[in-house]
Amino acid sequence: MNTRRAREALEEVWMKNTGDLFARARKVMPGGVSSPVRAFRAVRGDPRFVARGSGALVTDTEGRTYVDFVGSWGPLILGHAHPAVVEAVARAARDGLSFGATCAAEIELAEAALARFPFCDQLRFVSTGTEAVMSAVRLARGATGRSRLVKFEGCYHGHSDGLLVKGGSGLATFGTPSSAGVPPEVTALTEVLPLDDEAAARELFARKGAEIAAVVIEPLPANAGLLVQRRELLQTLRELTHEHGALLIFDEVISGFRVAPGGMSEISGIRPDIVTLGKILGGGMPVGAYLAREELMRHVAPLGPVYQAGTLSGNPLAMAAGLATLRELERPGAYARLEELGERFERGIRLAFERAGVPGCVSRVGSVLGLWLEPAPAPRAYHRIDPRGAERYAELHPLLLQHGIWLAPSYYEVAFVSTAHETSHLEQAAAALQASLQALGEARPA
């Protein structure tokens, strides 16, 4: 068989496999996926099945390779299958996968994480970001003896009942469940505030300050595009919570170790009472954590009455992956490189919009980017996002995939650059974006 025939035969097998995979996946998993955004419904596509990843690239089961800007939704700041991380996991695995007892790697990763959030004394490991925030809220309620929780519209904190809440736009609203199966009685304890609006926060505290256990916010909201906040908002929340005896929770599941070693807490210089971490902390393995001062953490079982536990919490493989990742990030120049790549990508995207003659803008902090299909300035609050952008994104996304560029299959997700990205990857992405925007413009009737 000549090489071409061999390749075609191989591609045929891949095609068949993928067809089979989707059919099989749909049969055994709702939508064929283990988490809804992976289904590509927001961009009216079918899920891709990934065979392997290496550095900045992923290869699907059809043998097509893409430059990846999803990075497993944030954890892979070093790119896919970084040798140091893979080696650390393999080494740990040889000594056992899980013990249900404390291992030395847990202590090491705890020390490494706390060193980056020096205003916290202790942490508790969990396995997901969802658990981290859910447990942080329980701790806040247990420690303050209050019930009410404040969150922000457009911020995502995992899928625990009380946080799966949407609000109306404008001033503070009662949370209504954003999922079936969440009783309104549960979300009635959650107040929803608009981002970028200190006055709304002041007004809520003036009315209900004494009932509020905690305010939880993504200090860099990155779950409705990238809604970069002014420092004044975070500062106001710090002051209001202090004044009214409530606690401030920074959900740094995305921003922690990403925008700086100490996340947005470091960048803003504002010290929350509780920090939640996930994603990079596990280097691609399932890890979350919540961190606080000792006098707060002593409320957590076994020392105190706030119950929280986990069979696989702190398991040695996940700890090894997290530690290896943080060690790599300690190398001189790691964050400077992320900033440089992020800045370069931002410039490339802006230029692509300009050259294609399509209105668009970018928000960015370090290696996290929000791509907006609407004219500048980039929105800072959920209700200011033009929903028509999501429609355009659904048309754009499959074209980018055809060009070998894998952005998140949802307009409301951000793009991540890793230390494994190279300038050429960013140039390829910017060129693909320009070509795709142009193709869309030409396809649209005048």
* Closest CB to ligand PMP among residues 70, 253: 253
The nearer residue to ligand PMP, 61 or 276, going by C-beta atoms, is 276
Closest contact distance (angstroms) between CB of 212 and ligand PMP is: 20
Q: Helical H runs in 181-289?
A: 184-187, 198-208, 231-244, 263-268
Q: Which of the ranges 151-159, 191-199, 383-391, 419-427 carries the binding residues for ligand PMP, by CB under 6 A?
A: 151-159
Per DSSP, helices labelled H in 125-197 are 129-144, 184-187
Q: Which position's Cβ is nearest ligand PMP?
A: 129
Residues with Cβ within 8 Å of residue 93, at least 6 apart in sequence: 317
Query: Is 313 one of the binding residues for ligand PMP (CB under 6 A)?
Result: no
CB neighbour burial string for 246-272, b if at least 16 within 10 angstroms, e if fewer: bbbbbbbbbbbbbbbbbbbbbbbebbb
For the CB of residue 102, give the shortest distance to ligand PMP in the complex, in Å.
22
In angstroms, the CA 342 to CA 54 distance is 20
130 or 436: whose CB is closer to ligand PMP? 130
Between 253 and 433, CB nearer to ligand PMP:
253
As annotated, the active-site residues are 156, 251, 279
Strand spans (E) along 153-255: 165-166, 173-174, 176-177, 190-193, 212-217, 247-251
Alpha helices in 307-333 (DSSP H): 316-329
Q: CA nearest 233: which of 288, 181, 189, 270?
A: 270
329 interacts with ligand PMP by CB under 6 A: no
Q: Which is nearer to ligand PMP, 141 or 157 (CB)?
A: 157
Among 116, 148, 157, 258, binds ligand PMP (CB under 6 A): 157
Contact residue for ligand PMP among 40, 69, 73, 353 (CB under 6 A):
73
Burial of 179 per CB tally in 10 Å (0-12, 13-18, 19+): exposed
Tell me the number of residues near ligand PMP by CB under 6 A. Answer: 14
- Interatomic CA distance for residues 157 and 378, integer angstroms: 22
- Binding to ligand PMP by residue 262, rule CB under 6 A? no
Q: Is 367 in the site for ligand PMP (CB under 6 A)?
A: no
Selected binder of ligand PMP within 142, 219, 278, 284 (CB under 6 A): 278
In contact, 204 and 191? CB cutoff 8 Å: yes
CA distance 57 to 79: 8
Q: How far is the CB of 405 from ligand PMP (least distance, A)?
A: 21
Q: Report the DSSP beta bridge partners of residue 50.
A: 60
Contact between 156 and ligand PMP by CB under 6 A: the answer reads yes
- Per CB under 6 A, the list member of 47, 79, 158, 219 interacting with ligand PMP is 158
Q: Count of CB atoms within 10 A of residue 203's CB?
A: 14
Distance in Å, CB of 18 to ligand PMP, minimum: 26
Q: How far is the CB of 350 from ligand PMP (least distance, A)?
A: 25
- For residues 305 and 44, the answer to whether their CB atoms sit within 8 Å is no
Tell whether residue 128 is a contact of ligand PMP (CB under 6 A).
Answer: yes
CA angle 118, 122, 124 (to 5 degrees): 130
Query: Based on CB atoms, which residue is closest to ligand PMP, 252 or 425?
Result: 252
Q: Report the residue from 55, 79, 129, 167 that binds ligand PMP according to the rule CB under 6 A.
A: 129
Site for ligand PMP in 168-227 (CB under 6 A): 218, 223
For residue 410, state whether it binds ligand PMP (rule: CB under 6 A): no
- 3-state secondary structure at position 380: coil
Asked if residue 55 binds ligand PMP (CB under 6 A), the reply is no
In the bound state with ligand PMP, the residue whose beta carbon lies nearer, of 254 and 405, is 254
Choosing from 61, 130, 265, 410, the residue that interacts with ligand PMP (CB under 6 A) is 130
- Give the residue among 70, 98, 48, 121 at the shortest CA–CA distance from 279: 70
For residue 251, state whether it binds ligand PMP (rule: CB under 6 A): yes
**Interface with ligand PMP by CB under 6 A: which range of 4-12, 40-48, 128-136, 182-190?**
128-136
Q: How far apart (Å, rounded) are the C-alpha atoms in residues 75 and 278?
A: 8
**Of the two residues 67 and 289, which places its CB atom closer to ligand PMP in the complex?**
289
Q: Which residues lie near ligand PMP (CB under 6 A)?
A: 73, 128-130, 133, 156-158, 218, 223, 251, 253-254, 278
